[in-house]
Structure 1
Amino acid sequence: MKHIISRPLPAHWQLNSLHPRLQRIYAARGVTREQQLELQLKHLLPWQTLKGIDAAVELLLPVVRDQQKLLVVGDFDVDGATSTALAIRALKLMGATQLDYLVPNRFDFGYGLSPELVAVAARRQPDLIMTVDNGIASVAGVAAAHQAGIKVLVTDHHLAGDELPAADAIVNPNQPGCEFASKAACGCSVVFYVMLALRSRLLQLDLLPAAGANMAQLLDLVALATVADVVPLDYNNRILVEQGLRRIRAGQVQPGIDALLRVAGKAPERVVSSDFGFALGPRLNAAGRLDDMSLGIECLLSDDSRLALSMAHELDELNRSRREIEQGMQQQAMTYVQQFQAADNLPTGLCLYQADWHQGVIGILASRIKDKVHRPVIAFAADEQNAGELKGSARSISGLHMRDALDEVDKRSPGLIKKFGGHAMAAGLTLNAGCYQQFAEVFDQVCRRQLNDEQLQQVIETDGELEPAEFTLALARELKWAGPWGQAFPEPVFSGRFRLVQQRIVGERHLKLVLQPVSSELLLDGIYFNIDPACWPNHQTELVSAAFQLEVNEFRGQQNVQLLIRHLAADIN
């Protein structure tokens, strides 16, 4: 059962120049002064507060000055791909030429700088390995690199474990003792800051190329990573995302990002932050989920618009395949969930496993099921490289820190988990297949101890009810451009009671609606994507309660207000 509540408002705010509705929306997200809406680059946090950044610059300096060989070791998601592309593009702008990258195929090596990956890396004879979006847990991998005579620079944003790798330098805002104020930085923004610091040092040494190596031209990569990695949009992250969006809209965009937008049917001049999460992110992620993230990285590195477009089409096809695989897995997973529900014993911490599930899609499966049942969920698949082992991908809800929960499982039952890592809302782990049932039981016990009944109630936070006079194109347009919206700074959602005037299915699983606010004669179009066919259309219901976004719908050159339905229920009041 979902409950609709209004977001709490602070006692005071000073946003007097804005539309009254927009004032309340911002205030509910912690913006109480208009200065907090000034998203200029001059307000970015300084790189000097990042622990380890001076040592990182000294490691990178010979890559530019002496043309030492650098190998960037990335990750197989959007943050990893953009981090890799940004590092190489930035260093090229600063004059480096001996640059290479290596991304572990998730099916061959798993996550991060492992000793096995170091053995592959050593064949390329780099002077320095730089990890991006990984490395903070690579204790054994860093040791293996040092044994091979290779220095290591770790750049990461994930939470540190009990032991840090003995890297030559670590830059991670979440490492112990780091005073950088934004703990929500993604991996790509950490790399961006490292490159800002390196550029500053080169400028000091009079070693910058004549073109100046303007780092702002890489902000589209940072913006994409920040939204797609679902990190909280604190003030610093909102600046990075907004500045990246402005560059894309102005046509100052990497050919790969431009190509991905066009393949997704999005006009670059009208791009908004949600396009990163729903259009670009899944297409890039599909490469790492089903094949090799190198295709996504090459798309982001290409300066040839035709080649970039060709690769974007390949990524689009991979994403279509990913969707088909995911839909089948989701149907199978929901069969298990319904069996639990029928027996009235749905676990608080839900583990799901089927032998033929695709290892690259279990993360998105866990996320989908978590959204449906509002429980922490871990989906498992057989490890394709290590017989007898399972790979798990975990997603959490508010109230349960997933990495800490796995740590508690590990402490309660030592040896049950072979390895794990992650952060509050997402994590990954490896088990011996024979330990699955025991793990599922212990994980459920940990979740039951940490989550109460209230936290297991799915709540939809809204920005209240709109007045009839507020259902306007002008307000819908203002809301669209008032972001950037994203994690912890969500798009405005409103609630209301409506008469259900018309309802029909379009495109197999979408509900097209005409709704009338109960206090008005106004008729409004609405669309509810991916409905539950067991519930809708419901021709016995006249009144409904809805949570919705107010959006601009454009069709054949005409614009009108449309309600994008997020939740719909029969109104029994």
Structure 2
Amino acid sequence: MSTTTVVRRAVPEEIELPGPPLLARLYAARGVRSAGELNRALDALPPPTSLKGLAAATGLLAAALAEDARVLFIADFDADGATACALGVRALRAFGARHVDYLVPDRQKHGYGLTPELVELAAERRPDLLVTVDNGIASVAGVAAAKARGMRVLVTDHHLPGDELPAADAIVNPNQPGCGFPSRCLAGVGVIFYVMLALRATLRARGWYTACGITEPNLARLLDLVAFGTVADVVALDHVNRVLVEQGLRRLRAGACVPGLAALAEVAGRPRERLCTADIGYALAPRLNAAGRIEHMSLGIECLLADDAGRALELARELDRLNRERREIEDAMKLAAFADLDALDLDGDLPFGLCLYDETWHQGVIGILAARVRERTHRPTIVFAADRDGQLKGSARSVPGLHIRDALAAVAARAPDLITRFGGHAMAAGLSLPAAHYATFRDAFDAEVRRHLAPGDLCGVLLSDGELGAGEIALELADCLREAGPWGQGFPEPLFDGVFEVAGCRVLKERHLKLLVRVPGQAAVFDAIAFGLAETVGEPRAGSRWHLAYRLDANEWNGSRKVQLRVEYLAPA
């Protein structure tokens, strides 16, 4: 298997940034070049006006309101799609819409997005307007089917478009050709939030609120959903997304959030008043996603739409149960996949681009498994599961240096009949292909990856922000860094490294290491936790010295808080 190395970030040129020198250096290392990029207030957001297709989109929605039309949201089965759907439904209802509903495709029956099969199901509800959220940009056939039935279609999406755009009545997607919006990184929930912002202004200009006798809604109340979906979808936290996430986190911490998110925090055991992006990404979002992976995402959307706290908690507990079931399925699949990888590695025949398939694997969990395999091998990975109609569904995860969607496009261009459909981003994508084509695709994908990556690219790299002195490893700095975010994809939480002496160690649940460490020559001892690393490094003995890469965290136990090192990497010094 490939190894991981720790590389220290280059120290950036001095830039005048506010705050302590350490924090200014951390910001500069993440590409911040002016104090304005650190402004996390709502007025730092760019206006919606530069989004291509916005006038047509707000026109469709305003007409639907005026006509008392039936609006049906077409959602997706992940957390971004669920939050985008809940936001759209809540916003339209706040604008006075009386006939607003949603539909989520069944992963097994309908596949991803607005397919012709899903249009058949949607037609039973007699919608006048379909609004896709977090999908639709690749739904050429589905949009055509909806138009043929007399439905109007508004596509809101953030995925990369293909060569052909669907013939929708309006498309809002910051990644479509000709869009001048300053951020290409909005999640699906961010796109629909901006559409609703523009609709609110359109309705204001038309005198809608006065005519209907309703109060103009404060859409900032929906930023908790925007923050949740943005973090869960692992989009890059550029300046726009950092503002959206920061503002949403403030609402979550203050309790000014939808009951469903508060309930998810409760069942996950994360104090709502101190929620951060890591809590969403690693604890809350997996529970919401479990609905779409194991059962049906309508359960998750209902949790986000619930206004009664008791009902929201009941749904959150069911999501928690599904997440435990998901973990059991994932563990079994991971065991089988890693056994296959070990066999391949023994033969010295590990491909550059990995494809894995087992007919027993659960389609809802292949994305997680692809991420786990990618983390272990540092190779672009696609994991497949069987569909009901003789197709294989694949979920792909990439590594720096390979744009996974473009790689799939290149394979499809060379062999047009090989892949049935595909779509996605630079680091994650999905595809389907006939089961009979699997072996041919596996070889073609490996060949395409080899065109872009060399052996040296297949090693994991942890970028460190350098070494902290013993006096800097303190609760005050941990709290300062926690507030200095939001951290996430493209704006990573600070990671430090250094040599430590082990003062004590015990293994938790046969997988995790609970350590006591000190800087050599210093008396102060610090708590450290290394999740999942006991299996690979064993149990460090007292007195031994280890090189650690870690993040500063605060550990709370029995009402007391103290600094803790959250270890990402350790190796003998």
Q: How big is the shift at 1:534?
A: 4.7
Tell me the residue number matched to 1:407: 409
Give the secondary structure class of the aligned counterpart of 1:309: helix
In 2: Cα distance, 1:296 partner to 1:143 partner: 29
Which of 221, 227, 238 is residue 231 of structure 2 equivalent to? Answer: 227
Contact kept? 1:381, 1:390, Cα under 8 Å: yes
Tell me the residue number matched to 2:114: 113
In 1: Cα distance, 2:214 partner to 2:164 partner: 43
In 2: Cα distance, 1:8 partner to 1:53 partner: 41
Q: Specify every segment of 5 or more residues in structure 1 that has no aligned partner in the other structure, as ranges.
A: none
Q: How big is the shift at 1:32?
A: 3.2
- Give 1:216-255 correspondences, 5 Å limit: 216-255=220-259
Q: How big is the shift at 1:530?
A: 1.2
Q: How big is the shift at 1:276?
A: 1.3
Which of 341, 362, 366 is residue 366 of structure 2 equivalent to? Answer: 362
Contact kept? 2:507, 2:513, Cα under 8 Å: yes
The residue identity in structure 1 corresponding to 2:391 is E
In 2: Cα distance, 1:534 partner to 1:14 partner: 43
In 1: Cα distance, 2:521 partner to 2:178 partner: 56
1:480 equivalenced with 2:482 (yes/no): yes
- Give 1:155-554 correspondences, 5 Å limit: 155-208=156-209, 209-383=213-387, 385-386=388-389, 388-539=390-541, 542-554=544-556
Residues 519 and 235 from structure 1, CA distance in 2 versus in 1: closer, same or farther, beyond 3 angstroms?
farther
Contact kept? 2:502, 2:540, Cα under 8 Å: no
In 1: Cα distance, 2:471 partner to 2:121 partner: 64
In 2: Cα distance, 1:219 partner to 1:127 partner: 28
Q: How big is the shift at 1:40?
A: 0.7
Q: How big is the shift at 1:341?
A: 1.0
Tell me the residue number matched to 1:28: 29
Contact kept? 2:225, 2:248, Cα under 8 Å: yes
In 2: Cα distance, 1:24 partner to 1:462 partner: 12
In 2: Cα distance, 1:251 partner to 1:113 partner: 35
Contact kept? 2:513, 2:534, Cα under 8 Å: no
In 2: Cα distance, 1:426 partner to 1:270 partner: 30
Give the secondary structure class of the aligned counterpart of 2:84: helix
In 1: Cα distance, 2:294 partner to 2:25 partner: 43
In 2: Cα distance, 1:44 partner to 1:540 partner: 51
Q: Which runs of 4+ in 1 moved over 6 A?
A: none
Contact kept? 2:510, 2:534, Cα under 8 Å: no
The residue identity in structure 2 corresponding to 1:407 is A
Contact kept? 1:255, 1:305, Cα under 8 Å: yes
In 1: Cα distance, 2:542 partner to 2:224 partner: 49
Q: How big is the shift at 1:35?
A: 2.5
Q: Specify every segment of 5 or more residues in structure 2 that has no aligned partner in the other structure, as ranges.
A: none
Tell me the residue number matched to 2:8: 6
Contact kept? 1:391, 1:430, Cα under 8 Å: yes
Contact kept? 1:501, 1:513, Cα under 8 Å: yes
Q: How big is the shift at 1:34?
A: 2.5
Q: How big is the shift at 1:65?
A: 2.0
The residue identity in structure 1 corresponding to 2:136 is G
In 2: Cα distance, 1:433 partner to 1:540 partner: 53
Contact kept? 1:553, 1:560, Cα under 8 Å: yes
1:39 equivalenced with 2:40 (yes/no): yes
In 2: Cα distance, 1:510 partner to 1:540 partner: 17
Q: Deviations over 1:45-96 (max 9, x none)?
A: 1100000000001100122222111010010000100010000100111111
**Quick check: 264-273 or 68-77, which moved more?**
264-273
Q: How big is the shift at 1:210?
A: 3.4
In 1: Cα distance, 2:214 partner to 2:123 partner: 34
Superposition TM-score, scaled by structure 1 size: 0.97
In 2: Cα distance, 1:532 partner to 1:503 partner: 11
Contact kept? 2:6, 2:549, Cα under 8 Å: yes
In 2: Cα distance, 1:523 partner to 1:75 partner: 48
In 1: Cα distance, 2:87 partner to 2:235 partner: 18
Contact kept? 1:498, 1:543, Cα under 8 Å: yes
Contact kept? 1:74, 1:81, Cα under 8 Å: yes
Q: How big is the shift at 1:362?
A: 0.3
Give the secondary structure class of the aligned counterpart of 1:525: strand
Q: Deviations over 1:427-482 (max 9, x none)?
A: 11112112111111111111111101232121100110001210111111111111
In 1: Cα distance, 2:534 partner to 2:509 partner: 14
Contact kept? 1:129, 1:151, Cα under 8 Å: yes
Give the secondary structure class of the aligned counterpart of 2:208: coil
Superposition TM-score, scaled by structure 2 size: 0.97
Aligned length: 568
Contact kept? 2:78, 2:289, Cα under 8 Å: yes
1:149 equivalenced with 2:153 (yes/no): no
Contact kept? 2:513, 2:529, Cα under 8 Å: yes
Give the secondary structure class of the aligned counterpart of 1:469: coil
Q: Deviations over 1:509-532 (max 9, x none)?
A: 111111121253322111111124
Tell me the residue number matched to 2:79: 78
- Give 1:124-143 correspondences, 5 Å limit: 124-143=125-144
Tell me the residue number matched to 2:53: 52
In 2: Cα distance, 1:262 partner to 1:158 partner: 32
| Fraction of identical pairs, as percent | 53
In 1: Cα distance, 2:424 partner to 2:16 partner: 38
In 1: Cα distance, 2:90 partner to 2:493 partner: 32
The residue identity in structure 2 corresponding to 1:218 is L
Q: How big is the shift at 1:275?
A: 1.4
Give the secondary structure class of the aligned counterpart of 1:471: coil
Q: How big is the shift at 1:535?
A: 2.3
The residue identity in structure 2 corresponding to 1:252 is A
Q: How big is the shift at 1:541?
A: 8.0
In 1: Cα distance, 2:225 partner to 2:537 partner: 41
Residues 196 and 116 from structure 1, CA distance in 2 versus in 1: closer, same or farther, beyond 3 angstroms?
same
Give the secondary structure class of the aligned counterpart of 2:537: coil
Contact kept? 2:96, 2:214, Cα under 8 Å: no
In 1: Cα distance, 2:68 partner to 2:184 partner: 33
Contact kept? 1:283, 1:319, Cα under 8 Å: yes
The residue identity in structure 1 corresponding to 2:481 is L
Q: How big is the shift at 1:266?
A: 1.5
Q: Deviations over 1:211-231 (max 9, x none)?
A: 211110000000001100000
Contact kept? 1:541, 1:570, Cα under 8 Å: no
In 2: Cα distance, 1:63 partner to 1:256 partner: 28
In 2: Cα distance, 1:99 partner to 1:9 partner: 52
